[in-house]
Structure 1
Amino acid sequence: MRVSKAPEERREQLLDVALGLCAEVGFEALSIEQLTREASVAKGTFYYYFASKQDLLLALVGRYVDALFVELEATASRLTGSGLERFRALMLGATTWKTGHVTDAYAFVPLLYKRENLPLRYQLFDEWAGRMREVFLPLVERGTADGSLAVDDPEATTDLVLSIWIEAGGRMFDRALATTTEEAWVDTLLRGIASLTSAVERILGAAPGSFQVPVDGAFLGASRAPFLAALDGPSDQRA
């Protein structure tokens, strides 16, 4: 029996069902027919909310990122201390949130590393950089003013930090995906994360180790299978 729901509630339901099916069969193998059947809606209902399966992917990514930024903005509003201390706390908060929502991320984030999705990946990365800038620039400005960070130009420095996190971070995952064993995958990510974090510390004039966060090698190792599953899935998208 189909139940009438408000438009936004119905859209959220479709995204929830899609996320659950992604965890079971993967996004590539998921069909629109399967999604609408599981959600107990007509196929036309799907197309009322989403233009295509690619549009569904964008919606899943967008919802995940929106939730992350809501958390970051809320955390930033509660922070106290020096600019460096606030920067470190926000980085730790972001890492904690992403770790807690890693299952959701596995459903669609690996798809951004498929070669055919490269333009989409850079489009999204560019959008995320703008939103991250709004959160982190005030912390760099504060750190510059209170002397906890050694920065000449907060705006240019923030842009440089974001390019390291986003651009260099993406290339780090590309290198990891080119490895052939889980051990090499973990080693590439561990060394890469440490190096990128160290570079951010130097650029901000922070002491070594200021922004290093604990990274679980076993956790990274477990991430390899979902990434490879997404990359090795069928290239066609069933209607």
Structure 2
Amino acid sequence: MARIAKDPQERRNEILDAAMELFQTKGYEHTSVSDIVKKIGVAQGTFYYYFKSKEEIASAAHERSLSARLHFVKNTVDDPDLNAVDKLRKVLLQGFPAPETDKVILEYVHDEGNSILHQKWLTAKITAFAPYLTEIVQQGIGEGVFQLDHPGEVTEFLLVGISFLFDRGVFKWSDEEIAKKYKALEKIVDSLLGGKNIISVSAFLGNTNHG
């Protein structure tokens, strides 16, 4: 029986979903292109029509995850029922950290041989998030809860600091060291934005995937 033709985007997502499931169960290094196409019942030529390599799958997975997170952030920024502090907390605690499903991709990109790709991904995430957080900070200035000049630059500084300092692929901090740094982060955010009790360290401790 002939396989039903699918919309190209649907097929691409099907391949990507199958790859991610295999990465989770077998590990990235132990998953081959043959494993991926076998799982969904297509020829290897179909895989290579959409992706040049297994490495490109990893990049596509990161891009799809980032797109979904940015959709969440945009909805948060546009929510008329949230004040600036609530928006900032929601974005930094729920939108900015990588979800648990990205763990296997983060392990791949944290490999020493992938340092250039790692830097590229971090830069792309910071660049994508910065305008949204800047808008939130500007709202907070208007509400009188944040007191600062240069909101765009301060926001970029905050995102870069969080992204690199808490990236376990860059620094090999122990859990105790991470906890101390998150505790300090509370005061740092307050100082940068000119507010009080903006971020709760207890909430931040559950979100340590900064990929």
The structure with more helix, counted as a fraction of residues: 1
In the alignment, the residues of structure 2 paired with residue 220 and residue 158 of structure 1 have an alpha-carbon distance, to the nearest angstrom, of 19
Which of residues 164, 171, 175 is equivalent to 2:171?
175
Which residue in 1 is equivalent to 2:48?
Answer: 47
Q: 1:197 to 1:13 in 2, by over 3 A?
A: farther
| CA–CA separation in structure 1 for the residues paired with 2:70 and 2:48 | 28
User: Normalising by the residue count of structure 2, what TM-score does the alignment of the two structures yield?
Assistant: 0.87
1:6 aligns with 2:7: yes
Shift of 1:187: 1.5
CA RMSD of aligned residues (A): 2.5
Provide the residue aligned with 2:81 in structure 1.
Answer: 80
Equivalence for 1:211: 199
Matching residue's letter, 1:143: G
Q: Which protein has greater RCO, CA pairs closer than 8 Å, 6+ apart? A: 1
Q: 1:110 aligns with which of 107, 130, 148?
A: 107
Name the % identity.
22
Give, in angstroms, the shift of residue 147 of structure 1: 1.8
Q: In structure 2, which of residues 126, 139, 163 is the aligned counterpart of residue 129 of structure 1? A: 126
Describe the shift of the 1:81–1:43 C-alpha distance in structure 2 as closer, same or farther (beyond 3 A).
Answer: closer
**Long gaps (5+) in structure 2:** none
In structure 1, the partner of 2:90 is 89
**1:197 positional shift:** 4.1
Say which SS state the counterpart of residue 78 (structure 1) adopts: coil
1:75 & 1:21 partners in 2: Cα distance?
Answer: 32
CA distance in 2: counterparts of 1:215 and 1:87, whole angstroms:
13
Query: How do 1:35-74 residues align onto structure 2 when only pairs under 5 Å count?
Result: 35-74=36-75
Q: Select the residue among 136, 148, 153 that pairs with 1:151.
A: 148
The offset of 1:220, in angstroms, is: 7.8
Residue deviations 1:131-187 (CA, integer Å, cap 9, x gap): 1012111111121232201111111211111111222232x553336xxxxxxx322
Where does the alignment leave 5 or more consecutive residues of structure 1 unmatched? 178-184, 224-239
Matched residue, 2:184 = 195
